[in-house]
Each structure stands twice: as C-alpha cells, then as structure tokens.
Structure 1
Amino acid sequence: MQRDELPLDVENALDAIEFEGMLMGRQMSPQNHPEHTVLSLDRSAYTLMSRIEIDGPLSIPQMTAAFALDASTLNRQTAAMMRKDLIRRIPDPDGGIARKFELTPHGLELLNGDRDIKRRGLRTILQEWSGDDVTTFAALLHRFNSDVERREGRPWPRPER
C-alpha cells in the first residue's frame, strides 16, 4: 500500500463522511429548519456576527484574515448588515487607523434568537441520543474543525463555556 492510500474500510468511511457532511450542511441551513420562518440571519451574517461576538470589534483586514475572503466581499456583506442594523462601524477601540465593526443591540438580539432556535432544533433531533453520544459527537466535531483550522492556519476562537 502506498503512503497516500488508505484501507478500503477507511476509504468507505471517507466517502460516508463527505456525504454525511453535505447532508449536515443542508440540514443546518435555515431553509430546512422547522422554524425557518423565525430565523432572521443568513449563514454569512450569522457566522460573521458570531466571530465578532467572540473576538470583539473587527476591521475588514481582520475579517479578511479570519474568513479568507476578499475585502470587496466583506464590504458588501458588512454594508448589507449595517443597513439591517445588525452591526455598526466604530473607531478602533485600540486607537488604530482602521474602523471596526461591532454588533448592535438589535444584531445581538437576532444572533441570540437564531442561536436559540438552532439549539432547540438540535435538542429535538438529539433527544433520543445518550448524553455520552451527544458529548462524543460534539468532541469529534470540535476535533475535526480544529484540525481543519490548524491545517489552514486560521484558528477559530471558541466561546468560553
């Protein structure tokens, strides 16, 4: 067996992980959520606002580094979010030149509301799982995401628990 080749059972598992990951992304999208009409934020706003909530105010260059997106994309996204009063532009709290974005009270309220809806959905889906299965699933998702972040050189901060 060559170095890059994996045993057939591992190859089959990789196929299953790819397929199940695709389905998980689909299941977690707002359109497929049982309470989707209540969700307020699209995926990009939810992700960007979650990062600002953890890191605090961020500039476009900081977002570019964090998300590996070009500045023009982030400018469009932040402009749309500002129009909806989800974020606002502020002077750099550390005295830097670049202006930063922070969550508005309205944005934080919508972010927390959407997060609660998503958690309720997960709680419903996982209600028949054992506590050990739920914590194992969470630990494996964390491990997977951390490995991807390490490989890409862009670690994602985690909220304090």
Structure 2
Amino acid sequence: MLEKLERELMLLSRHQVLARRERDAERLERSAYLLLSRIDTQGPMSIGQLAEAFGLDTSTVNRQTAALLRCGLAERVADPDGGMARKLRITAEGGRRLEGDREVNRSCLARVVADWSPEEVRELEDVLVRLNRSAEALEGRHWPRTEEGDGGASCRLPAPQDQLPPAP
C-alpha cells in the first residue's frame, strides 16, 4: 500500500536535487539552506540547539556551521537571552542568499503547478503540512512555523539598530 507513496516521495526529492544542480553558484548547499532556514524561523541558535533540532551529531553541525561562518552567511553572537553559549545568527548576506533561493524555489513551484487550481495547491499544502507534522511528532522534533504564530522569530532580518554587537 505504501509503495506508491514511497516512490513518489523519492521522485519528489529527486526533482529538488536536480533543480539545485542546474542553478548558479549563488545557490546555497542543501545543508546551508536548511540551517539558515531554521535560524531564520527560530532566531539565533547555538550549535547544540541546531544539532538537537536536526537530530545530528554536534560535530556534523559544527562543520556545517563553520562553512556558513567562512562564507559570511552567519555570525556568532552572544546569547540574546543571556545564556552562556554563543549563538549563530544570519548575516545580511546570508539573509539575501536565503531569500534568493526561496524566490527561485517559489518560481519553480509556480511553473510546476501553473495549471492547478488554487484549491488544488491549498490541498497539496495541507497534506504536506500534515505529513511533515506527523513525521515531526514521531521524531519529537518540531519545525517552528511562523505563519501560524508558533513562537518563532520573524522571517525578516532585524533592522541594523536592532542587531546585537558582535560577541568578543
């Protein structure tokens, strides 16, 4: 019964990977896109928080975030809540690149569903939200969704006057 579902999800994942390969060098790597998306949704996060959020080893997340730091897509800041661990925050360049990728993704999706009715698009969105929430519940790791007021940070970068000074 689940054979067709498994195959279609595999194919869906394949289409996304192929779309990334044919893009220009400005496109973010998959891990960078996912990490930046989570930080963008939730606000500054420590490496430990990111590792927990993705169910990954901290050494893996440390390597991935080191790449973000080297590329100027994220920066280390003092914990805005006063905690001891330093956190990662998206830089203006990271926000620009993330938004650019999101625009390309939306444009590609618009072409894919161009002949769908708005109701069909909403139905697919609803089913995917349900599928993702079910998977998150099984894993015990929920992705904050700002559009539903789940307590995540705004998806916009803070204005320069609202930004924290760099941590020492």
TM-score (norm. length: structure 1): 0.88
Q: How many residues align?
A: 148
Q: Partner of 1:6 in structure 2?
A: none
Aligned-pair distance for 1:151?
1.0
One-letter code of the match for 2:137?
Answer: R
User: Which SS does the other structure have where 2:147 is aligned?
Assistant: coil
Q: Following superposition of structure 1 onto structure 2, how do residues 4-153 of structure 1 map, counting pairs within 5 Å?
A: 11=1, 14-29=2-17, 31-33=18-20, 36-37=23-24, 39-153=26-140
User: Highest relative contact order (Cα 8 Å, sep 6+), 1 or 2?
Assistant: 2
Once residues 114 and 138 of structure 2 are traced to their aligned partners in structure 1, the CA distance between those partners, rounded to angstroms, is 33
Once residues 99 and 45 of structure 1 are traced to their aligned partners in structure 2, the CA distance between those partners, rounded to angstroms, is 19
One-letter code of the match for 1:32?
Answer: A
Work out whether residues 34 and 121 of structure 1, in 8 Å CA contact, stay in contact via their aligned partners in 2.
no
User: Which SS does the other structure have where 1:28 is aligned?
Assistant: helix
User: Which SS does the other structure have where 1:20 is aligned?
Assistant: helix
State the superposition RMSD in angstroms: 1.5
Aligned-pair distance for 1:34?
8.8
User: Which SS does the other structure have where 2:85 is aligned?
Assistant: coil
Q: Partner of 1:5 in structure 2?
A: none
Q: Please list every run of at least 4 consecutive aligned residues from structure 1 whose deviation after the TM superposition is greater than 2 angstroms.
A: 31-35
Unaligned runs of 5+ in 2: 149-168
Work out whether residues 20 and 27 of structure 2, in 8 Å CA contact, stay in contact via their aligned partners in 1.
no
* Bigger Rg over Cα: 1
Q: Taking structure 1 as reference, are residues 34 and 96 closer, same or farther at Cα in structure 2, changes over 3 Å only?
A: closer
One-letter code of the match for 1:82?
Answer: L
